[in-house]
Homo-oligomer: A and B are copies of this chain.
Amino acid sequence: MQLQFLGTGAGMPSKQRNTSSLALKLLEERRKIWLFDCGEATQHQILHTTLKPRKIEKIFITHLHGDHIFGLPGLLGSRSFLGGDEKLTIYGPKGLKEWIQLTLKISQTHLNYVMEIIEIEEGIIFEDDSFIVTAKELEHVIPCYGYRVEQKPLPGKLLVEKTSEIGVPKGPLLKRLKDGQDVTLEDGRLIRSADVTTPPISGFTVSILGDTRYCHKSIELSRDAHIVVHEATFDAGTEELAKPYGHSTILEAATVAKEAGAKALIANHISARFLPEAAKALETQGKSIFPDIWIASDFAEFEIKNGTVLERTS
């Protein structure tokens, strides 16, 4: 998995930072991409990456402010035009469905794929064999959800040297052992799966939070996460200014990551007020509370290698 930031600005686009969008690349895990928020010109940003719109399987919208959704209609149309024919599911707050449907209707945008729009409430909003996604409502000026994406543990690998030593015949028995089941051989011996496989490999957890002031649910969503993506619209010392706007400072973002016991924090939703120098200062401020911090820039890409978060250089 990799996380690639497509827009790391706040409110309005600037030359340096586009409005919010973030791609969770699950190409090795499921040959798909999940998108979080879709500010205007997200499809333009994608043109400068290796991402293919037809591979976007799910789009999670945190809230309905324009800087998080105005790129959605254009991307939906382009995904279809660029050969996307597999189902797309969009998750987001109430109101999203009516807007998407009216927008596609008045613009006569026809999609060559099935689109499902799920207006969510708190709780588990998606689960399959390999992933589970939980949403909780954060504290912004309008309803806003944060998302926790957990990869389920991967089954251990079969130790083929051991199974051939024991004499397990090739075929269905091997598959059952690999899938975690114990089996009995023809000669009556019981073979335990745990004895012939490596231990399950634990999956990753990423929490991607929307616009919010400091709140307890951010911490709950981020518990023990490898990566927390948290907004930092304001800088240290302006907590009282940030609160009425439903936003956080970099110190509050760092506090969430620390309290949650997360491994790394990536701060986004950076105001255009902060020029590159000032963005660097945000990082220094955050480090005073939580050391493993990055200030995201557009197109920055991160991955988890052996449990550690690294910025990828391309």
Q: Decide yes or no: A108 and B65 within 8 Å by CB, A70-B74, A73-B70, A103-B103 being known contacts.
A: yes
Interface size on A, residues (CB 8 A): 38
Distance, CA A106 to CA B41, complexed state (A): 19
Looking at the assembled complex, report how far the CB atom of A13 sits from the nearest CB atom of chain B, in whole angstroms.
5
Asked if residues B108 and A103 are in contact (CB atoms below 8 Å), the reply is no
**Using Cβ atoms and an 8 Å threshold, which residues of chain B touch A66?**
73-74, 77, 103, 107, 109
**Using Cβ atoms and an 8 Å threshold, which residues of chain B touch A107?**
64-66, 69-70
A15, CB-defined interface residue at 8 Å:
yes
Asked if residues B12 and A78 are in contact (CB atoms below 8 Å), the reply is yes
Distance, CA A105 to CA B297, complexed state (A): 30
**Using Cβ atoms and an 8 Å threshold, which residues of chain B touch A69?**
107
A47, CB-defined interface residue at 8 Å:
yes
A37, CB-defined interface residue at 8 Å:
no
Asked if residues A98 and B102 are in contact (CB atoms below 8 Å), the reply is yes
Looking at the assembled complex, report how far the CB atom of A198 sits from the nearest CB atom of chain B, in whole angstroms.
45
Distance, CA A304 to CA B142, complexed state (A): 49
Distance, CA A96 to CA B107, complexed state (A): 9
Asked if residues A44 and B48 are in contact (CB atoms below 8 Å), the reply is no
Which residues in A have some Cβ–Cβ distance to B below 8 Å? 11-15, 18-19, 40-41, 43-44, 47-48, 64-67, 69-71, 73-74, 77-78, 81-82, 95-96, 98-99, 102-103, 106-109, 141-142
